[in-house]
């Protein structure tokens, strides 16, 4: 039983390349998930029951089906209907769809937490519906959702490891290659575990900092 | 008959996969619950050294992908310890450990949700620490924990799908096999997804029933 990290040193470049791909996929998925999540959250708090129902179904399905099944559905299914995406594109799409479902939950509760008086005041002032959403609802809801959104993003980073199952060489995928090159799987995956822990820790630290910055001056 | 058609045998493969998924989910939940609760007891009894270590380990398990933990156990552990592990054993170890870490977190916050004044009152009445835990903390903490526990169980069910990557023929692996043979991804993955969805629903419903029972004591019974 030996634990030797020295043979991994020449592979730091591979790890870094994988980490870059993971970071890129997560950043794109964060943007996509946020956009989808905001739309879904607005739909779920809409007045029309049909609109609410449609958004509920989207969230329900993507929360209750394993991510790897969603990923395979898109990866094998999309080419079937003529949509040809790279593994990276499929991965980002799948992460955005799943992320959007979780994001919408957070933003929805942020919207529901807005005091009705604020909205009534805006309506009485004669603001258009778009202005109310853009100037009042979303700023308040997003500001209070920063911290829970941070933990959604942490989950997104962890979930992105599953993208290695569709031939994408992100962090986990490149670690798999390094492990089979060096024959030292324990060291490789132990290091990988720590790298992910550090990455998610940084994400939660920065989301906490952003939360403090956006909510400064609030009790 | 075409090679890519669905055959009656596919149904057996699907049911087999479903059985493996359910069995592994049940086993790892039971083991994880036992370990996680024991883990939380370390904290409740303020065991020196072990208690911060447990917190650190839980944090590490919570903040790393299950897939990586699975690879570490399946590919890494046999090399390190010079033993052999079957995919099912590796899946059992990893998923139990992962579930235990989340159970630990839920249990700790549930125990802390019980008001301090109640504990002090109980101590004044001369109850021992174990009696306080058994009679006062546990019943209230269980009711408090059931909400987060439901979310965890639904999540852990989905996490079991990852063991297909190391070659356990669970529901997802059965889907992958059928997908490659029939080349009908939409049908196959929709059926697999639907089965997972139904299982998740079932778990959520069962938990909701238990929660109503546990909360029965605090319900308004009328005058």
Asked if residue A1 belongs to a domain, the reply is no
The tokens for B132 are 């306080």
Supply the pLDDT for residue B91: 96
Q: State the DSSP code for A170.
A: S
The predicted model gives A90-99 an average pLDDT of: 97
Q: What is the pLDDT of residue B1?
A: 53
| Helix %, strand %, coil % of chain A (to 5) | 85, 0, 15
The tens place of each residue's pLDDT in chain B, 223 residues long, gives 567 788 888 899 999 999 999 999 999 999 999 999 999 988 888 888 888 888 899 999 999 999 999 999 999 999 888 889 999 999 999 999 999 999 999 999 999 998 889 989 999 999 998 899 998 999 889 989 999 999 999 999 999 999 999 999 999 999 999 999 888 899 999 999 999 999 999 999 999 999 888 888 777 776 6
Per-residue pLDDT averaged across A162-177, rounded?
93
More confident residue, A98 or B5: A98
Q: A2 pLDDT band (50/70/90 cuts)?
A: confident
DSSP B141: H
Cβ of A201 under 8 Å from any chain B Cβ? yes
Q: How many CB atoms lie within 10 A of CB A188?
A: 29
Q: What is the ipTM of this complex?
A: 0.89
Distance from CA of B86 to the nearest CA of A (A): 16
CB atoms within 10 A of CB B16: 15
Q: Encoding tokens for residue B174?
A: 């059965």
CATH of the domain at A97: 1.10.3720.10
- Tokens (6 digits) for B114: 């019980």
pLDDT at site A219 = 54
Cβ-contact A70, B175 below 8 angstroms: no
Q: Would you call B196 an interface residue with chain A, using a CB distance cutoff of 8 Å?
A: yes
Mean pLDDT on A114-137: 91
A165 touches chain B (CB under 8 A): yes
Q: Is the pLDDT of residue A159 over 70?
A: yes
Contacts for A40-49 with beta carbons within 8 Å, 24 or more apart? A40/A100, A40/A101, A40/A103, A40/A104, A40/A108, A41/A103, A41/A104, A41/A105, A41/A107, A41/A108, A41/A110, A41/A111, A41/A141, A42/A111, A42/A133, A44/A104, A44/A108, A45/A108, A45/A111, A45/A112
Which of B192, B101, B34, B56 is CA-nearest to residue A194? Answer: B56
Q: Are A157 and A18 in contact (CB under 8 A)?
A: no
Domain total for chain A?
Answer: 1
Mean pLDDT of A41-56: 94
Which has the higher per-residue pLDDT, A174 or B1? A174
B123-146 burial by CB neighbour count: b if 16+ within 10 A, else e?
Answer: eeeebeeeebbeebbeebbbbbbb
By residue range, what is the domain housing residue A154? 9-214
Whether residue A171 contacts residue A15, with contact meaning beta carbons closer than 8 Å, is answered with yes
d(CA B66, CA A91): 18
Chain A residues inside the 8 Å CB shell of B197: 61, 64-65
Continuous H helices in A12-144:
12-44, 49-64, 67-80, 87-112, 116-124, 129-131, 138-144
pTM for the full model? Answer: 0.90
On whether residue A48 sits in a domain, the answer given is: yes
A155 assigned to some structural domain: yes
CATH topology of domain B8-214: MetI-like fold (1.10.3720)
Which residues of A, range 138-157, sit inside 8 Å of B by Cβ? 154
The whole-angstrom separation of Cα A64 and Cα B37 is 26
A99: nearest Cα among A173, A162, A171, A154: A154
- Residues of A in Cβ contact (< 8 Å) with B172: 66, 68-69, 72
Size of interface A-B (CB pairs under 8 A): 128
> In this complex, which of A63, A158, A184 lies closest to B65 when CB atoms are compared?
A158
Contact status of A188 with chain B (Cβ, < 8 Å): yes
Closest CA to B165 of B173, B155, B174: B173
Q: Which residues of A touch B80 (CB under 8 A)?
A: 1, 3, 186
Residue A102 falls within a domain, yes or no? yes
Read off the tokens for A125. Answer: 């002032």
Helix, strand, coil in percent for chain B, rounding step 5: 85, 0, 15
Task: Give the 3-state secondary structure of residue B86.
Answer: coil
Residue A3 placed within a domain: no
In angstroms, what CA-CA distances link B203 with A105, A123, A177, B133? 20, 43, 37, 27
Higher per-residue pLDDT: B217 or A184: A184
pLDDT of residue B6: 83
Tell me if B64 and A179 make a contact (CB, 8 A cut-off): no
Residue A3: the pLDDT is 80
**Do the beta carbons of residue A151 and residue A205 sit within 8 Å?**
no
8 A C-beta contact, residue A192 and residue A171: yes
Do the beta carbons of residue A157 and residue B66 sit within 8 Å? Answer: no
CB A177 within 8 A of CB A13: no
Residue A201 domain-assigned (yes or no)? yes
């Amino acid at each position: 039983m030996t634990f030797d990290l020295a043979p991994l040193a020449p592979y730091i470049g591979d790890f870094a390349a994988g980490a870059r791909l993971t970071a890129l996929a997560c950043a794109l998925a964060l943007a996509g998930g946020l956009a989808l999540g905001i739309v879904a959250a607005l739909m779920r708090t809409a007045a029309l029951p049909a609109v609410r129902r449609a958004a509920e179904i989207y969230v329900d399905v993507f929360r209750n089906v394993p991510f790897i099944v969603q990923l395979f559905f898109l990866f094998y299914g999309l080419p079937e209907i003529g949509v040809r995406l790279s593994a990276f594109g499929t991965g980002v799409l799948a992460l955005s769809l799943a992320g959007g479902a979780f994001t919408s939950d957070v933003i929805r509760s942020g919207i529901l937490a807005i005091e009705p008086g604020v909205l009534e005041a805006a309506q009485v002032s004669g603001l258009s519906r778009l202005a109310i959403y853009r100037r009042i609802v979303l700023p308040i809801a997003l500001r209070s959702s920063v911290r829970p959104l941070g933990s959604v993003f942490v989950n997104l980073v962890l979930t992105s490891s599953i993208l290695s199952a569709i031939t994408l060489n992100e962090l986990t995928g490149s670690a798999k290659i390094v492990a089979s090159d060096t024959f030292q799987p324990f060291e490789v995956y132990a290091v990988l575990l720590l790298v992910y822990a550090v990455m998610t820790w940084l994400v939660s630290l920065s989301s906490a900092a952003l939360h403090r910055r956006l909510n400064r001056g609030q009790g | 008959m075409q090679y890519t058609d669905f055959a009656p045998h596919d149904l057996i493969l699907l049911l087999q996969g479903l059985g493996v998924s359910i069995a592994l989910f049940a086993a790892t939940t039971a083991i994880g619950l036992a370990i996680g609760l024991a883990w939380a007891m370390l904290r409740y009894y303020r065991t020196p050294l072990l208690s911060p270590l447990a917190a650190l380990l839980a944090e590490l398990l919570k903040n790393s992908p299950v897939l990586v933990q699975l690879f570490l156990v399946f590919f890494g552990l046999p090399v390190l310890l010079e033993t052999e592990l079957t995919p099912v054993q590796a899946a059992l170890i990893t998923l139990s450990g992962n579930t235990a870490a989340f159970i630990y977190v839920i249990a700790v916050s549930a125990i802390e949700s019980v008001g301090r004044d109640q504990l002090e009152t109980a101590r004044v009445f001369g109850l021992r620490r174990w009696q306080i835990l058994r009679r006062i903390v546990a019943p209230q903490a269980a009711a408090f924990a059931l909400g987060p526990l439901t979310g965890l169980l639904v999540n852990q069910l989905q996490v079991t799908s990852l063991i297909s990557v190391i070659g356990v023929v669970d529901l997802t692996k059965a889907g992958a096999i059928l997908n490659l043979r029939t080349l009908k991804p939409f049908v196959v993955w929709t059926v697999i997804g639907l089965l997972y969805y139904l299982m998740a629903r079932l778990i959520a419903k069962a938990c909701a029933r238990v929660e109503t029972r546990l909360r029965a004591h605090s319900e308004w019974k009328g005058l």
